[in-house]
């Protein structure tokens, strides 16, 4: 499935949207993933057009998610959700963004990017006899820590680094949330980077 031309087009489209609407965060994802693959030639990159490190296939046949946040994803990062299948989007399958008080019509083949570690989200059930699947693209926060630590765990980093390196890491950790929020694109940023033709 992952190597099919249709899926590769979906991945390519998702990444174009990600890069367009969250350019700084996209660059962080892309550079982190490139560093990871350069560090270990044994790793296989299944999705060459993707800045996301992971993908989940929810194969239903009627996928419903309960209200949740994706706590292990990068806190200020993005997650791409694409529903597929045969269902009436006027009668079910809606995406609910609980913290924003929004219920979004979410038809098969559409894609949305959300900060899934921040926003509580779920989807409505579909009608009996219908089918709904979903493809979720995301990156775990642990991946960013692994690369930041010089391709090692937190435990190994703390055991092998100098006091100055550990202090710098702690200082970076405290400023990471604010730096992450500064990576969010504003509408004027998007318009200046991609002006209307």
Query: What pLDDT, in 10s, does the model give residues 148-182?
Result: 888 989 899 888 888 888 888 888 777 776 777 77
Q: What pLDDT was estimated at residue 85?
A: 93
CA–CA distance, 168 with 99 (Å, rounded to integer): 34
Q: What pLDDT was estimated at residue 182?
A: 73
How many domains are there within the chain? 1
Strands (E) across the chain are located at 54-58, 79-86, 95-97, 102-104, 112-114, 121-123, 131-138
- Residue numbers of the chain with a pLDDT score lower than 50: none
CA–CA distance, 94 with 144 (Å, rounded to integer): 31
Determine contact, residues 60/132, Cβ cutoff 8 Å.
Answer: yes
Residue 185 DSSP one-character state? P
CA–CA distance, 149 with 143 (Å, rounded to integer): 10
Which residues have a Cβ under 8 Å from the Cβ of 95 and sit 6 or more positions away? 81, 103, 104, 106, 112, 121, 122, 123
Tell me the residue range of the domain where 138 lies: 5-193
Half-sphere exposure of 109 (CA within 13 A, CB side): 5
Q: What pLDDT was estimated at residue 8?
A: 83
């Amino acid at each position: 499935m992952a190597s099919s031309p249709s899926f590769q087009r979906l991945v390519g489209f998702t990444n174009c949207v990600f890069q367009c609407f969250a350019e700084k965060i996209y660059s962080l994802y892309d550079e982190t993933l490139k560093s990871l693959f350069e560090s270990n030639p044994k790793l296989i990159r299944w999705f060459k057009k993707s800045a996301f490190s992971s993908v989940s296939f929810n194969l239903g046949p009627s996928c419903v998610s309960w209200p949740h946040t994706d706590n292990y994803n990068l806190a200020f990062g993005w997650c791409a959700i694409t529903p597929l299948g045969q269902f009436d989007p006027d009668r079910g399958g809606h995406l609910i963004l609980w913290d924003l008080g929004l219920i979004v019509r979410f038809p098969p083949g559409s894609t949305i990017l959300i900060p899934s570690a921040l926003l509580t989200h779920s989807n409505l059930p579909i009608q009996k006899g219908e089918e709904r699947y979903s493809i979720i693209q995301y990156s775990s926060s642990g991946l960013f820590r692994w690369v930041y630590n010089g391709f090692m765990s937190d435990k190994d980093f703390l055991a092998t680094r100098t006091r100055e390196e550990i202090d710098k890491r702690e200082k970076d950790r405290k400023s990471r949330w604010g730096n992450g929020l500064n990576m969010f694109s504003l509408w004027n940023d998007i318009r200046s980077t991609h002006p209307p033709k």
